[in-house]
Structure 1
Amino acid sequence: MKLYAFGHNNYHEPDARTTSSTTSDQASPICILEAETIRILWTSWCDTIIAYQTSAGIWIIQYRGAGVAPELQEYIAHSVPIQEAVSGHRGTLHFFGSTLHDGLRGYLIKYSDSTDSEISIFSTDLEVEAGTPLVRSYSSKMVQDMSTVQMDSSGRIMIGLDSPSNEKATQIVHFARLNELAAHLDTHSAASGPSTIQHAPFIPTQWCTNATTSTALSSSGEVFTSSRDLRFSKCLGRAPVNAYELQPIPYFSETSVEAISSGGYMSGAISTDGELFLWGQSVPGHEGSISVLEDLMFESDDVRTGVSCAPEQDEIIKCLDVYIDGMEARTQRLAVGHGHVLIAAEAHVIDGNMKRAVLGAGVNSNGQTGLRTSTRFIKNFEEIIAFRDMAIQQLIATGWSTFVITL
């Protein structure tokens, strides 16, 4: 496998330096790692965690960026529970943090065969100076019930808990700040308890947040959203009824969704049939909008490799058509960053071969679309030629960066 990166340079080694400053140079996909197996475990605007397996079968956990202290970077690289979870020997690993603010803030390891599940919270430099331990770990009854931990753009913590009365439902508890969660786990007191508790009639298989909205996917393929900021109503993907609670998007009532992605002020989904959906708006203060979101680009017969939008569309959710060399394609991967979107698609040809392409659009101020151009905003989806006919294993866009793992 190969890992490529472009955009904001948090992907370099911690001691690396870059002398390039032009958008077109930043946009050139750079192969930063080649290994037997590669997985990106976490990304934010300021840091990335990469796991890769050597030819000898050894797993390496590597932190790149500047979001945490060197001592924490060493902790992540050599933690036995993290190593065991990554290698698949024991436990499920989930890193969490603020993708556009502090970066990485901790991780949850869930064990299905015991009561050893553990959440570890990383302290900031200021907290350490005030006497807080660098790593705070907990394994209380509440931690055993945790299925996921999310942080929204305001720093609010959202925790999914296994429902004691319904194995197909989730309790979602909110804490205003990460330190409030830590205080509650320290004392188990009601005074430091969650600010709200909600009931969700599903178990999230994917859960992501952007500047305004939380988006979750159920095991049955339903998409749920919630928002505490209704100034940008299109981001919710539905009418703002019970907007503070995770509610299903009616548009997808007859569609089974298998993947979601969210970032900035946009979200997207891929159906089990390979259909591509996008909703939201451009980043406030940025010039330009992606054409298919603003009904500025409709279906036409001359689309070769790109994305088009049929003229009769839902007011909020856009169902998009993807083409490779004039052939209709299925979307395989979707990544939404802070104002930019990338997709990986494939089309079957008559002789049984496969055409593959990766396309990007949106904000390009740091070259995050991967397109070799100095244009700061890409209105229409364009192909990143470097990835033509490559099989894409993982596609991630976070903040102003993009990562592509090829087979």
Structure 2
Amino acid sequence: MPANGGAQVNGVEAVRLLAAGFNGHHQLFAFDEDPRAFTAMVEADATIPRNVLFAGWSTTVFQAGRSIFSLGHQKLASDNFEVDVQLQCGFGDHEGILGCLDHEGRLYLAEQPQSPDEGWRLSCQSTDVSPKIGTIAAAGNGRIALTFRQAPNGNLAHIAEFDSPLALVRWFRDPSGEGNYPACHHMIPGRPKQLLANTGSFILLMEGGEVYTWGDARYQSLGRAIGEAMPADKPGVVDALGGLNIFKIASGGWMDAALSADSSLYIWGATSPGVEGSIRCLEDQDQVALVNLTDSAEDFLDVQDVAVGDNHIAVISEGDRLFAVGENRNGQLGVGSEEHFLEEWQEVPNLTQVRKVGCGPKSTFVLTKAT
């Protein structure tokens, strides 16, 4: 039993999935409004693992046991699998999910239905001779990067980068075919842990805690110096995070975040051009900013989890509290305010015992303990 008690199902803590933010395609709820305060989406049965697989502009996809659920523009068939498959690394675009991986490194792609009465299906593309993929991510500019699954004793990461989803599919189905080679191939010492993408760049976390970035260097989005020795289009280490033992990264818009083992949060980049505000702690920062999160008593708080949307950031602090900052035009901060932008961190009211946080482009999702 958890130390703080609470609702349980078969000895496992029960949770609720809540969301706030842009709902223009009904990708959060059936009603038309953008929920500006966190509202329950699913009363989750703890016996069925629930996973928000993809949160995009128009579609939200999550998994519950053998079933795939989708809300919004893209409708997925719910009877997608005959056996339990653990899906991860969902990637897509404004239209919906394009694909994902399973826990064994197999690639699944979204296939269009044959008739209007059917839903899209996530279909496994892998065969016994297909490459095994470790992680995969799609940037907003259409580029896709992936890492290859390593042997248990492997210590050299291979990264393939493609100009488009179509180029990825051509390569995967015929890796040695003429013209099917990746646009770029990078090698980095170590073992990959997380690979993410934002509007124009990629960020890679290694098991040793090192962080690499590459891609579009505008708006300080790489968090590192650019030069002949470390060009923007090749993975370069974020020196400001050296020795900090980073264990989690998050990415969205033109911003990245990194969370260290000592519960310190580092962010870099900027809000998108045209957004009416800027996040205060990112102002006058050349590269990477250390976030000093405080509560109403001005006490400094450790950070336990972080997620990044297009122009907003949400974190879980010690005490399982949620704080958010940035764009709020669609209520994505969940604070209930009509303000379009919050420059300073604000605690989300009436929300306690937050277990996990995630962000879509203009939305935020949280798992809280069910009471």
Normalised by the shorter chain, which TM-score bucket? Answer: 0.7 to 0.9
Task: State yes or no: 1:96 paired with 2:90.
Answer: yes
Q: If you compute each CA radius of gyration, which structure gives the higher value, 1 or 2?
A: 1
| Cα pair 2:136 2:195 within 8 Å, conserved | no
Q: Which one-letter code corresponds to 1:44 in the other structure?
A: G
Opposite residue 218 of structure 1, the aligned amino acid is: M
Q: What are the residue-to-residue correspondences of 1:4-23 with 2, within 5 Å?
A: 4-9=18-23, 17-20=30-33
Q: Which amino acid aligns with 1:118?
A: R
The answer to whether the 8 A contact 1:95-1:107 is kept is yes
Question: Counterpart of 2:170?
Answer: 183
By how many angstroms is 1:10 displaced?
Answer: 7.0
How far apart in 1 are the matches of 2:348 and 2:147?
A: 37
> What is the distance in 1 between the residues matched to 2:362 and 2:283?
22
Displacement of 1:246: 1.6
1:158 is matched with 145
Residue 114 of structure 1 corresponds to: none
In the aligned structure 2, how far is the partner of 1:13 from the partner of 1:291?
A: 30
> Which shows bigger deviation, 272-281 or 149-158?
149-158
Q: Aligned match of 2:252 in 257, 263, 268?
A: 263
Partner residue in 2 for 1:32: 41
The corresponding residue for 2:192 is 204
Taking the aligned partners of 1:178 and 1:136, their CA distance within structure 2 comes to: 15
Distance of 1:66 and 1:282 partners within structure 2: 26
1:285 aligned partner, one-letter code: G
> 1:294 and 2:294 equivalent?
no
Match among 35, 56, 63 for residue 51 of structure 1: 63
Contact kept in structure 1, 2:26 and 2:32, CA below 8 Å: no
Query: Is the Cα–Cα contact under 8 Å of residues 47 and 63 in structure 1 kept in the other structure?
Result: no
SS state of the match for residue 184, structure 1?
Answer: helix
**Partner in structure 1 of residue 5 of structure 2:** none
**Structure 1 residues 155 and 141: CA distance shift in structure 2, 3 A:** farther
Correspondence 1:334-353 to 2 at 5 A: 334-346=306-318
Name the residue aligned to 2:9.
none
Q: Percent identity?
A: 23
Q: Determine helix, strand or coil for the equivalent of 1:367.
A: coil
Inter-CA distance 323–49: structure 2 relative to 1 (3 Å threshold): same
Matches within 5 A, 1:61-100: 61-68=67-74, 70=75, 73-74=76-77, 77-81=79-83, 84-86=84-86, 93-99=87-93
1:402 corresponds to 2:353: no
Matches of residues 365-380 of structure 1 in structure 2 within 5 Å? 365-380=329-344
Amino acid at match of 2:367: I
Question: 1:326-378: per-residue Cα shift (whole Å, max 9, x none)?
Answer: 322110111110101111101xxxxxxxx442111111110001111111111
Cα deviations by residue, 1:128-147 (Å, 9 ceiling, x for unpaired): 99xxx976643246634321
The root-mean-square deviation of aligned C-alpha atoms, in Å, is 2.7
CA distance in 1, matches of 2:330, 2:82: 36
Distance 1:128 1:161 in 2: 35
CA distance in 1, matches of 2:79, 2:68: 6
Cα 1:344–1:198 change in 2 (3 A) is same
Alignment of 1:306-317 (within 5 A): 315-317=286-288
Taking structure 1 as reference, are residues 209 and 187 closer, same or farther at Cα in structure 2, changes over 3 Å only? closer
Alpha-carbon shift at residue 154 of structure 1 (Å): 1.7
Question: As a proportion of its length, which structure holds more helix?
Answer: 1
Give the 3 Å change call, closer, same or farther, for CA 258–191 of structure 1 in structure 2.
same
* In structure 1, C-alpha distance between the alignment counterparts of 2:286 and 2:67, rounded to whole Å: 44
* Aligned-residue offset at 1:172: 1.0
CA drift of 1:210 comes to: 0.8
CA 1:6/1:80 → structure 2, altered by over 3 Å: closer, same or farther?
A: same
Question: Structure 1 residue 286: deviation in Å?
Answer: 0.9
**Residue 392 of structure 1 pairs with residue 327 of structure 2:** no
Give the counterpart letter for 1:85 in structure 2. V
Decide whether aligned partners of structure 1 residues 11 and 405 sit closer, same or farther in structure 2, where only a CA change above 3 A counts: farther
1:243 shift after superposition: 1.5
| Consecutive unaligned residues in structure 2, runs of 5 or more | 1-14
Q: 2:98 aligns with which of 89, 102, 105?
A: 105
The Cα shift of 1:27 comes to 1.0
Please report the TM-score for the alignment, with normalisation by the length of structure 1.
0.77
Q: Which runs of 4+ in 1 moved over 6 A?
A: none
How many Å separate the matches in 2 of 1:243 and 1:166?
Answer: 30
- Residue from 134, 157, 166 that aligns with 1:170: 157
Count residues in correspondence. Answer: 344
Residue in structure 1 matched with residue 327 of structure 2 by the alignment: 363
Aligned partners of 2:185, 2:66: CA distance in 1, in Å?
38
Deviation sequence 1:310-331 (CA, Å, 0-9, x none): xxxx631111212233322110
